[in-house]
Amino acid sequence: MIRSFAEWFEQAEAAGVSLAEFVERREVKETGVPREAIRKRIEDTLTVMRGAVAEGLAESATSPSGLTGGRSGRLAADGPRLLGDDFTTMLSRAIATLETNARMGLIMATPTAGAAGVVPAVLLTLAPLRGWSEERLVDAMLVAGGTGIIIADRASIAGAGGGCQAETGSAAAMASAAVTWLEGGDSQQVGTAVALTIQGMLGLICDPVAGLVEIPCAYRNASAAVNAVASAEMALAGLDFPIPVDQVVDVMGDVGTKMDVRFRETALGGLAATPAGQEIAAQAGMTELVQLQRKGRTKGEGSARFGPS
Amino acid sequence: MTTLFDILGPRMVGPSSSHTAGACRLGYVAQAILGGMPDRAVVGLHGSFAMTGEGHGTRIAITGGLLGHTPDDERLRGAEREATEKGLEIEFSTVDLGDDAHPNSAVFEVVRGAERIAITGCSIGGGQIRVLEIDGFAVDLSGSLPTIVVVADDVPGTVARITGLIAERGLNVATVRVDRTGRGERALMTIETDEDVPVTVLEELAAQSWVHWIRNVHRLNA
């Protein structure tokens, strides 16, 4: 069990193993699954991720709700390339996974379905640019996984638990840790990358229009991917962050539990409760939801039992 | 405890890990505890499950789970039709489990032949679930490890005899949880093990006079 980033970094160093190897050994020890099987399963994970991206980019049909579909392809084709091809590619891949997800297609919920676009967009776009082998990508996924485990146990990875900061924020933190580590960052820099990512997303609410994992989720995955790469870039340059990563994660957890329930995936606040959001929900036939949105409150308000326990 | 593949996954059919994958797992666990696909299921959806479940395919996913499908099974999309074909009758309703209940909670009453079981559970995010109640007994079942559920006489030594039988086969018991209806009546035990308990061991346990019923719930993310 890893309870904190500090513990992960210290124990890996004490054991003389890399952060990736530490996570791998822990998994072998705690599940009894052999190392090769774990790595094979991560390779399969990458295959599903690639498939979800490809399907999202190729398919122009909309989701059953009509809210998403075809945007990733349009971005890939028509984006003006403000920061070059790769930037546009990364954004379109993040959106593509969410479009596949909305069509009840097969995805890897890393760490959740609503944030599934971030890790693949970042890692699959940077891999050829930075010359990472498949083997190294598997290692990077172990680092991403270790990061997500700590955040899930210390704070939350669920929108219903802690808002969007807990979902796309955790996904971005995982991606930025993986990139920083693969690019030769030390433990300190990996921690800084995670801290920088999360501080930039603190307080982000989960307000899915009509309660669907589509809008703003698809766009938030794209912006989270940008945040992940930006944080890795700054951490790798040696920029520091004065608040230790574990304390930043705890703040995210604290903000999440104090967040009004309307902003935790209930679709009763934020963009979901705007006049335009209500209209979309009404068109989708969600009459009970619209009634509650109009009342501006919900049963269960103030409830304390949210999130992984 | 969160494991690596809780985070790198689950591999699942969209759109929501909590409202689709978690919902499917709750249905799956309900049928596993029942001992197979129910003939009839009455499912109450609470909170966010009831309110936004429609757009997330929550009902479709629960139906697929009750059919024995896991969240990554692409047959989920057609679960409603499959249920009709296989004679699985499902009735959904909205329930209010109170403010303390997790917003993504569901109550199941599942019937298979003469067997009838009530289960309450919730989907806590990332596709992970907790079963909190089985037939009025308090439990805390996550499915992250292979789990056996046993209802037995609540007499001294019952827990030791069951875990002893399992340990004799070289299987490691991870956790044991017991809840009982009253002293000397019946107790429900959930026993998590590191590996699946072989059928022979389950049969041996089931043959004991003081064991009323036993079920095997496979590890969910395997």
Handedness of CA A204, A207, A213, A219 (dihedral sign): negative
CA atoms within 13 A on the CB side of A12: 22
- Domain harbouring A75, CATH code: 1.10.4100
Structure tokens that stand for A32 in this block: 């009894």
Partner B contacted by A96 (CB < 8 A): no
Touching check for A149 and chain B: CB below 8 Å?
A: yes
B103 belongs to a structural domain: yes
Task: List the CATH number of the domain containing B204.
Answer: 3.30.70.260
**What pLDDT was estimated at residue A298?**
46
- Preferred mutation among A39, A40, A107, A293 to probe B, highest tally of B CBs within 10 A: A107
Does A215 contact chain B (CB < 8 Å)?
A: no
Query: Peptide bond preceding B38: is omega within 30 degrees of 0, i.e. cis?
Result: no
Q: Is residue A64 part of a domain?
A: yes
Same domain, B115 and B174: no
Q: Looking at residues B80-107, what average pLDDT do you find?
A: 94
Residue B106 placed within a domain: yes
Q: Given an 8 Å threshold on Cβ–Cβ distance, is A159 in contact with B48?
A: no
Domain assignment of residue B84, yes or no: yes
Q: Are residues B174 and B108 in the same domain?
A: no
With 0-12 / 13-18 / 19 or more C-beta atoms within 10 angstroms meaning exposed / middle / buried, residue B79 is buried
Same domain, B126 and B193: no
Find out whether the peptide bond into B103 is cis, omega within 30 degrees of 0: no
Of A42, A157, A208, the CB nearest to B126: A157
Are the beta carbons of B7 and A267 separated by less than 8 Å?
no
Q: What is the CATH number of the domain that holds B44?
A: 3.30.1330.90
Q: For chain A, give the percent of residues with pLDDT over 70.
A: 95
Q: What is the pLDDT of residues A118-149, one digit of tens each?
A: 999 999 999 999 999 999 999 999 999 999 99
Average pLDDT of the residues in B50-60: 82
* Interface-testing mutation among A164, A213, A298, with chain B (most B C-beta atoms within 10 A): A213
When pLDDT is averaged across residues A269-289 and rounded to a whole number, the result is 91
CA–CA distances in Å: residue B142 to residues B3, B102, B132, B145: 12, 15, 9, 8
Between chain A and chain B, the number of residue pairs with CB atoms below 8 A apart is 194
Final residue of a structural domain among B135, B167, B182: B135
Query: Would residue B222 count as lying in a domain?
Result: no
CA separation for the pair A260, A276 (Å, rounded): 21
Does B193 lie in the same domain as B123? Answer: no
**Cα–Cα distances in Å, from A104 out to A256, B27, B73, B87, B171?**
28, 18, 11, 24, 38
List the one residue out of A138, A129, A10, A110 whose CA is nearest residue A53.
A110
pLDDT of residue A299 exceeding 90:
no
Dihedral angle of Cα A151, A205, B131, B39, to the nearest 10 degrees:
-130
Structural domain including B59 reads 4-135
Mean pLDDT value across residues A292-297: 77
Distance CA B49, CA B56 (A): 9
Question: A289: distance to nearest CA of chain B, Å?
Answer: 6
A104 and B126 within 8 Å at the Cβ level: the answer is: no
How many CB atoms within 10 Å of residue B97?
18
ipTM: 0.91
* B141 is a domain residue: no
Per DSSP (E only), the strands in B100-146 are 104-112, 115-125, 128-134, 137-141
- Domain identity same for B50 and B92: yes
B116 pLDDT more than 80? yes
Please, are residues A195 and A248 in contact by the beta-carbon 8 Å criterion?
A: yes
Residue B73 domain-assigned (yes or no): yes
B177 and B126 within one domain: no
| pLDDT over 80 (residue A200) | yes
How far apart are the two ends of chain B, measured CA to CA in Å? 16
pLDDT digits (tens, 9 = 90+) for B181-201: 766 789 999 999 988 889 999
Interchain contact B12–A (C-beta under 8 A): yes
Whether A275 is in a domain gets the answer no
Positive/negative CA dihedral, A108, A110, A113, A119? negative
Q: Provide the token pair at A17.
A: 């193993």
B126/B16 same-domain check: yes
B48 and A107: CB-CB below 8 Å? no
Number of domains in chain B: 2
3-state secondary structure of B50: helix
Which A residues, 283 through 302, put their C-beta within 8 Å of a C-beta on chain B? 284-286, 288-289, 292, 299-302
What share of chain A in percent tops pLDDT 90? 84
How many other C-beta atoms lie within 10 A of the C-beta of residue B118? 15
**Beta strand spans in B7-80 (E):** 11-13, 40-47
Instruction: Please report residues of A whose CB lies closer than 8 A to that of B1.
Output: 1, 30, 153
Query: Chain A within 8 Å of B194 (Cβ-Cβ)?
Result: yes
Return the axis-axis angle of helices A164-182 and A245-258, rounded to nearest 10°. 160
Provide the residue range defining the domain that includes A243.
Answer: 5-254
Whether B197 maps to a domain, the answer reads: yes
At A41-62, the pLDDT tens digits run: 999 999 999 999 999 999 999 9
User: Domain for residue B140, yes or no?
Assistant: no
- Per the structure, how many domains does chain A have? 1
